[in-house]
Amino acid sequence: MLNAWLSGFESLLHFQEILFLAIGMGVGLIAGAVPGFGPTTALALLIPLTYGMQPITALALSAGVMGGAPMGGSIAAILLNAPGAAPNAATCLDGYPLAQQGKAGLAIGAAASANSIGGIIGTISVLLVLPIATQLVLLFGPSEFFLLGILGLAVVASASRGKMLRSLVAGTFGLMIASVGYDQVTGVVRFTFGNAYLWDGIHLVPALIGLFAVAEMINLWIQGGAIAKDASNVKITRMWAGLLETFRHWPTVLRGSFIGTIVGAVPGAGGVVAAFVSYSMTVQVSKNPETFGKGNIQGVIAPEAAINAKDGSALIPTLAFGIPGSAEMAVFLGILVLHGLQPGPLMLIQHQTEIYGLVWALTAACILASCIGLFLARPLSRVTLLPSTILVPSVLTIAFVGSWALNQTIGNVVVTFAFGVIGYLMNRLDYPRLPIVIALVLGDMIERSFFQSMMISNWSWDIFVTRPASLILLILLLLSLVGAPLRSAFGKGVAHLRRTAP
């Protein structure tokens, strides 16, 4: 195991890998600082640019983006109360009040150190769990993979507070789209309407570029103006004092990192859940909960530590099972597939150098981004003032050209545009996009594993309850579907009792 760690580290010690890691980190910082852009959109735009790269180089570039974006997002959240990515919304709760008090530098410094520590803890968890994950994956059969895929969709739906039904609808729509094209099991061509391009199904990369990059640009173009209207809040002071605040509140850092590690390993839960769970737990155990939301530095430290710890542990389900732990991991899965790295048991065995190289690259990007973010906080914040008349045409050009360049076909451009419209409508109608992404990624595995399970069991449903692992997954699936409505009903009942109590 130590040899695998060292070989992964050595694979990064080349000029090309270091260069692309730095480039990815810079892109991540900027993408994180632009509200609504985030690492998912940045990765989707960079997918075509990785075509032709060596796998380790593409992984270094991707890790740089994922490691740099949280720091950029925290800067936008603190300075302008506009989170660069959804998980950074938790940072706004206390980060922006600190900025209003003239303590923006204090908050940014605390976010930077919490990011680094959380990233290191997430890395340690991955290094310890991946060798065990190899053994666990080898025990999984078709029935387990089928239930695991369904569980991933159910977890996403249950994690969308107040939107469970909408998440299930979006996931079902994604499964319908994933069924387009040639069926590997039956040999039937479905829903192609005579179009040869659709024989291979809906291509994942053009769909992701449309769903995130194009959708966000359509939204920005319709709103008009600049992303941020006012530069008066950009006041950066006392950043180094903020670094020390993290070490003064080390239980908060450890708790947030632990929560981020656990939540990140749950397929589909993502950084939003990790950040808000960490924030909520910190408020609950605090001796002064009334100070949160008014500028408590622990309200910045807790979510930021969880966000970066999540990035490391989210690699576990992505690499071991092919189930993305977050939206950016879903896009990252497309990069793996593009470079012939198929997640699953064989990847954990045959590509250990690339895997551990990715882990080390993610850690390095996280630490370096925190350091650079301290020095570049002010110019990065200016990106949010870029007018839409400049930003939108630039991003759309990159998106459509990149989509076409994947295999030089106009069909990719059409798919990107169509999914851009779908993504925009889902945003306007308040439908989460993560379920449709996970359904697109998992749809083929779910269908294939189901048919394999049925053929193995001679078309008997008993296979899903007679195998211990399948039974455990089935119970977890039922709990995830029933648990969310029960928690909601219980919460409403308690609230009603409090209102009616004398």
Helix (H) or strand (E) holding 54, with range, is none
Q: Tens of pLDDT along 301-358? A: 988 888 888 877 777 777 777 777 666 777 888 888 888 777 766 676 777 777 788 8
d(CA 465, CA 472): 9
d(CA 117, CA 110): 11
Residue 421 reports pLDDT greater than 50: yes
**Residues in CB range of 214: below 8 A, 6 or more apart:** 396, 399, 400, 416, 417, 419, 420, 423, 424
Q: Tens of pLDDT along 88-102? A: 778 888 887 887 676
Helix (H) or strand (E) holding 66, with range, is helix 55-80
Q: Tens of pLDDT along 149-205? A: 888 777 666 655 567 788 888 888 988 998 888 877 777 888 888 888 888 888 877
d(CA 157, CA 183): 27
Q: Are 205 and 470 in contact (CB under 8 A)?
A: no
Q: What is the pLDDT of residue 86?
A: 67
Q: Are strands 189-190 and 181-182 parallel, antiparallel or unpaired?
A: antiparallel
Rg over CA atoms, the chain: 22
Q: What is the mean pLDDT of the chain?
A: 78
Question: What one-character DSSP code corresponds to residue 86?
Answer: G
Count the Cβ atoms, other than its own, within 10 Å of residue 390. Answer: 10
d(CA 401, CA 273): 34
d(CA 78, CA 377): 11
